[in-house]
Amino acid sequence: MPPAAQSATERGARTRARILDATAAVLNANGYAGTRLSEIASVARLQTPAIYYYFSSRDEVIEAVVAAGHQSVIDHVAGALADMTGASNLEKILAAVEAHLTFVLTESQYASASIRNLGHLPAEMRTRQLSQRRAYGQMWKDLFEAGQQAGEFDPEVDIADARMLILGALNWAPEWWDPSRGALGAIVAEAKRFVRKGLSA
């Protein structure tokens, strides 16, 4: 590729990334209904029509952020579990709790925007995201089922209900947590204590 063409391609990629970054920030601040292309453009330091060079519509750029955000959660939690060979399934669940919370609360605007806005997206957009959601849910389901089979959990615990309650609580955290409520480490420790005591045999 000629240097000029390569430079233009790199500039285009940087501009596209700025638009996505800005969209994640606006989604977190305003929600799906309140996200406007004009505000995205302002945060990205662009003119609004420039966005249409990269995305055909407001919903297309929002969906790109939602998809990237959820995939980043999957990758981050899977990475946290990758080096836990030999750990109990309960310890793996606790590591997943910590990885999920830390990531969505402090490390990724995309992940937070994805989680906070999923229920407000148009039905057809939510449907297109289902394969990612199922993949992440399966990761957790496998951990819970393995823990149950290994006898690590209280036999009276319904693991399907427990899994959904835990994931629901983790996904709700971006709606209410801020640093003024307490340090991130304290919130993570409390979540892990809650899960450990709730599941342990």
Structural domain span for residue 46: 3-199
Q: What's the pLDDT score for residue 75? A: 94
Task: Give the number of domains in the chain.
Answer: 1
Please give the chain's pLDDT, 201 residues, in tens: 555 555 778 888 999 999 999 999 999 999 999 999 999 999 999 999 999 999 999 999 999 999 999 999 999 999 999 989 899 999 999 999 999 999 998 888 999 899 888 888 898 888 888 888 888 999 999 999 999 999 999 999 999 999 999 999 999 998 888 888 778 999 999 999 999 999 997
The predicted pLDDT at position 4 comes to: 54
Looking up residue 131, the CATH number of its domain turns out to be 1.10.357.10
pLDDT of residue 170: 94
Check residue 118 and give its pLDDT: 86
DSSP the chain: --HHHHHHHHHHHHHHHHHHHHHHHHHHHHHHHH--HHHHHHHHTS-HHHHTTT-SSHHHHHHHHHHHHHHHHHHHHHHHHHT-TT--HHHHHHHHHHHHHHIIIII-HHHHHHHHHGGGS-HHHHHHTHHHHHHHHHHHHHHHHHHHHTT-B-TTS-HHHHHHHHHHHHHHHHHH--GGG--HHHHHHHHHHHHHHHHB-
Exposure string (b/e) for 35-69, b if CB count within 10 Å is 16 or more? bebebbbebbebeeeebeebbeebbebbbbbbbbb
Per-residue model confidence (pLDDT) at position 128: 86
Looking at the whole model, is its pTM more than 0.75? yes
State the pLDDT at residue 6: 56
